[in-house]
Amino acid sequence: MMPPAVRPHRQNRILLAALALALGGLLVGAPAAMAGAIFPESGGSPQADDISTLYKITLAVGVVIFLIVESTLIYSLVKYRARKGGPPAEQIHGNTRLEIGWTAGAAAIVVVIAAITFVYLDDIRNPPASDPDGLQVVGDFAAIDQAPPPGNRGLKIRVNGQQYLWRYDYPQENGRQLFSYYEMVVPIKTTVVLEITSSDVIHSWWIPKLGGKKDATPGHVNETWFKIDKPGVYVGQCAELCGDNHADMRAVVRAVPVAEYQAWAEQRRQDIEEAQRALAEQRRQREESQQ
């Protein structure tokens, strides 16, 4: 009589394992279209892609645990519900071997997840080199914790959060200023390193498709990076409550070919110089009219 009593259990277990495997496989191999619904946004920059991969691996582990816990729970609720003439409850107080087993199992799972995280960490944290056909700027990367891009080649942009606007300061060229607000224009195939700070309250810089968010904290400089392969527009918004209009504090990153970036930068520098000359002119006129 034993086999028929055991078999359904084994079948359940096999079914469960198959289901878990299939779901895990589906999660890891799912198309990018699932991004947003069950995975973080990605596709703009390697950092976002690596974070998404790391997330997917953990989620797959999590789904297996979820299925094991919920199915055991539901199974025991259905199987062991009180029935007339049913078996009485078994007075079990515990089982040391079983308890040590699941403690070790839980510990093993988090150790594995930690190990996988450290495998991906360098690629997520440290910026890669710009492509040979990307913009080649030699900068001084006074990194606190994030390594500079190899060869110190990359575009460094200083990001400053202010209620409710982002300002971007590009490296000066021959003493000529280059800055912009709201929209950050960057060259493709170029590693862009951001140095993020704030001049009033705490804000948080975040363009989901390009990677993780970093707080803009007054008195501190935070760092992150991205590298975009194809021209495109990436949107994001402030992620730390910064006042009444926090929801209106948006940011846009527009990636363009290198030549187009250089043309934009040159035009922008000229516009800034033009505006500064006009300011001087206005001041003179105002002073003359006051005399």
Partner 1 sequence: MTDQAIRTPVMARPRPEIVMHGLKPRPRGWLEWLTTTDHKKIGIMYLVATFFFFVVGGAEALLIRLQLSQADNTLIEPAAYNGLVTMHGTTMVFLFVVPVLAGFGNYMVPLMIGARDMAFPRLNALSFWLLLFAGIAFYASLFWTPPTAGWTMYAPLSDDAYLPDGGIDAWIFLIHLTGISSLIGAINFVATIHNMRAPGMSWGRMPLFIWAILIYSYLLILALPAVAAAATMLLTDRHFGTAFFDVTGGGDPLLWQHLFWFFGHPEVYIMVLPAFGMISEVLPVFARKPIFGYKAIAASTAAIAFLGLLVWAHHMFTTPTATVVLAIFMITSFAIGVPTGIKIFNWIATLWRGSIVFKTPLLFAVALPAQFVIGGISGIIVAIFPVDWQLHDTYFVIAHFHYTLFGGSVFGIFAALYYWFPKMTGRLMGEGLGKLSFWLMFIGFNMTFLVQHSAGLSGMPRRIYDYPESAGWEGYNLVSTIGAFLLGIGVLVTLVNVLRSLKHGKRAGNDPWKGNTLEWFVPSPPPENNFDVIPRVRSVEPMKDIRREVARNSQQAAGTVAQPVA
Chain positions 10 to 69 lying near partner 1, rule: CB under 8 A, are: 35-41, 48, 50-52, 54-55, 58-59, 62, 65-66, 69
The token pair at 115 is 């190990």
**Residue 177 in the binding site for partner 1 (CB under 8 A):** no
State whether the Cα torsion 76-82-87-92 is positive or negative.
positive
Nearer to partner 1, 214 or 269 (CB): 214
Q: How far apart are CA 172 and CA 239, in angstroms?
A: 29
Going from the C-alpha of 246 to that of each of 35, 169, 217, the distances in angstroms are 25, 22, 15
Residue of the chain from 153, 156, 214, 227 that contacts partner 1 (CB under 8 A): 214
Amino acid at residue number 286? R
161 binds partner 1 (CB under 8 A): no
CB of 287 to partner 1, least distance (A): 32
Cis peptide upstream of residue 120 (ω within 30 degrees of 0) = no
- One of 43, 60, 179, 215 touching partner 1 (CB under 8 A): 215
The residue to which tokens 């009219």 are assigned: 289
Smallest gap, in angstroms, from Cβ of residue 169 to partner 1?
Answer: 18
In this chain, which stretch among 6-14, 18-26, 166-174, 213-221 interacts with partner 1, using CB under 8 A? 213-221
Query: Which helix (H) or strand (E) is 113 found in, with range?
Result: helix 96-125
> For partner 1, which is the closer residue by CB, 99 or 173?
99
- The reply to whether 76 sits near partner 1 by the rule CB under 8 A is yes
C-beta of residue 227 within 8 angstroms of C-beta of residue 190: yes
Q: What residues numbered 117-156 form the site for partner 1, per CB under 8 A?
A: 117-118, 120-121, 124-125, 144-145
